[in-house]
Amino acid sequence: MGWANFFVIGASISLAHALDTSGAAPWLGRVLVGGLPGLSRTAIGTIVFLLLGATLVRALVPNISAFLALALPIAMSVGREAGLNPVVCALAVMMTGDAVVYYPAQSSSALVIYERGHVSAGEIFRFGLWMTLLGWVTVLLVALPWWSLVGQPLVQR
């Protein structure tokens, strides 16, 4: 692991800590849940909202560590505000963002095959869209029931 990666990961962890301790993540969670009245009506609706948000943030943030540092504290805060299990909300967002690459600069392996001419940027983007769809289906149809079975239900009782 190079020094650049070390500094990006360190900065990302610091950003996540700052979002949480400053109250920015809880505040944003309250704003999102309060500002979107339909958001907290159903647990699955809230998860779909989080998946959509994670997809958009992942498309804009090329580094996975930075994505996780931004998205996870906010997902947990939205979950808490909506009365859901914050761990499950964070896991759903993590799976959504970690499963995709939309352009070559988001992954060193994608960059290598792109530079060698084996795939085009358009092919990487199309594959990213398919992986997004597969990630959403996996979270909704496989992960949520599985997490419930192992003691992490979406709705806390």
Task: Confirm if 81 and 36 have CB atoms less than 8 A apart.
Answer: no
Tell me what the mean pLDDT of segment 7-19 comes to. 71
Spatial distance between the Cα atoms of 127 and 30, rounded to a whole number of angstroms? 34
pLDDT category of residue 38 using cuts at 50, 70 and 90: low
Q: Which of 22-36, 55-69, 136-150 has the lowest mean pLDDT?
A: 22-36
Average pLDDT, the chain: 84
- Confirm if 12 and 63 have CB atoms less than 8 A apart: yes
Q: Are the CB atoms for 89 and 76 separated by under 8 Å?
A: yes
- Please report, for the chain, the start and end positions of each structural domain, with discontinuous segments joined by +: 3-149
- Name the residue with higher pLDDT: 3 or 100: 100
Give the tens place of pLDDT for each residue, 116-138: 888 898 998 999 999 999 999 99
| pLDDT tens digits, one per residue of 51-85 | 998 999 999 888 888 888 888 888 888 888 888 99
pLDDT more than 90, % of the chain: 32
